């Protein structure tokens, strides 16, 4: 096989991106645990660890740029690197949302909204990210459609839970409204951030589908 070193660089990029996704998903699960357990220390670990992921992101971005510049990839190689270049941005954003979740964990009042299952939403959405990355690793286009379908369910669930929170606000006494305001807005932001994680999972799936089949159906 010609261009052995180049092929090796592509394999290294693939392995590095899968490692980055493992780190990001691990951090996000830590943030969910911190939220669930109201563990300020664990939440702080997630927040403090973000710089590592930022650095990983910048390194991988540079690797992609170098491959574009020095190897002028085409065809399947081009789609792989182009998709990877976009996917690392999604992973980096997911890590930022893990930091947000860590901060919400430190600020949140427990049990104010027992009907809103943050752990459930978080577990589902990070599961979508893992499924999308598995599709990327295995070049499995069918699985990318599965991820897109899961997002519709998550969106609907997030919509329902947001309504519960808003209704709670509307139904409250005037005095209580003032005191609830911080918690309500923080809870709405938490739901929205988790829903965003699902959107990033769909982005990853969409880029993976482009990578595997040159199909832009899931890219909006």
Interaction between residue 139 and other proteins (CB under 8 A):
no
Give the shortest CB-17-to-other proteins separation in angstroms: 19
What whole-number distance in Å separates Cα of residue 34 and Cα of residue 91? 20
Verify binding: residue 1, other proteins, rule CB under 8 A. yes
Angle, alpha carbons 87-91-95 (nearest 5°): 170
15: Cβ contacts below 8 Å, ≥ 6 apart:
none
CA distance 163 to 173: 18
Least separation in angstroms between CB 31 and other proteins: 38
Instruction: Tell me if 69 contacts other proteins by CB under 8 A.
Output: no
2 lies in the site for other proteins, by CB under 8 A? yes
The least CB distance from residue 9 to other proteins, in Å, is: 12
**189 in contact with other proteins (CB under 8 A):** no
Q: Which stretch binds other proteins (CB under 8 A): 25-33, 57-65, 70-78, 133-141?
A: 70-78
Asked if 85 contacts 64 with a C-beta cutoff of 8 angstroms, the reply is yes
Of the candidates 12, 10, 31, the residue with the CA atom closest to the CA atom of residue 20: 12
Q: Give the interface segment with other proteins, choosing from 2-10, 141-149, 158-166, 189-197 (CB under 8 A).
A: 2-10
Report which of 26, 55, 44 is spatially closest to residue 99, judged by C-alpha positions: 44
Q: Give the residue, chosen from 41, 74, 170, 174, that forms a contact with other proteins under the rule CB under 8 A.
A: 74
Does residue 75 belong to the site contacting other proteins (CB under 8 A)?
yes
Interface positions, 77-96, toward other proteins (CB under 8 A): 77-79
User: Whose Cβ is closer to other proteins: residue 75's or residue 170's?
Assistant: 75
- The answer to whether the CB of 213 falls within 8 A of the CB of 89 is no
Count other C-beta atoms under 10 Å from residue 137's C-beta.
14
Q: How far apart are the first and last CA of the chain?
A: 37
List the one residue from 76, 109, 163, 167 that touches other proteins (CB under 8 A). Answer: 76
The residues that touch other proteins, with contacts defined as CB under 8 A, are: 1-3, 6-7, 72-79, 214
């Amino acid at each position: 096989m010609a261009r052995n070193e180049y092929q090796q660089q592509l394999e290294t990029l693939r392995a590095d991106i899968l490692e980055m996704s493992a780190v990001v998903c691990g951090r996000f699960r830590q943030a969910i645990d911190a939220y669930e357990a109201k563990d300020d220390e664990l939440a702080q670990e997630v927040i403090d660890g973000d710089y590592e992921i930022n650095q990983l992101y910048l390194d991988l971005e540079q690797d992609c740029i170098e491959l574009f510049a020095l190897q002028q990839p085409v065809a399947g190689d081009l789609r792989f690197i182009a998709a990877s270049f976009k996917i690392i941005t999604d992973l980096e954003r997911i890590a930022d949302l893990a930091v947000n979740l860590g901060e919400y964990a430190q600020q949140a009042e427990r049990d104010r909204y027992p009907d809103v299952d943050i752990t459930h939403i978080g577990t589902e959405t990070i599961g979508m990210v893992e499924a999308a990355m598995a599709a990327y690793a295995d070049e499995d286009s069918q699985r990318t459609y599965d991820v897109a379908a899961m997002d519709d369910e998550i969106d609907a669930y997030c919509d329902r839970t947001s309504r519960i929170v808003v209704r709670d606000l509307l139904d409250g006494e005037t005095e209580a409204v003032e005191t609830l305001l911080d918690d309500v807005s923080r809870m709405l932001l938490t739901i929205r951030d988790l829903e965003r994680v699902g959107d990033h999972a769909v982005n990853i799936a969409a880029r993976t589908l482009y990578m595997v089949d040159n199909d832009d159906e899931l890219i909006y």
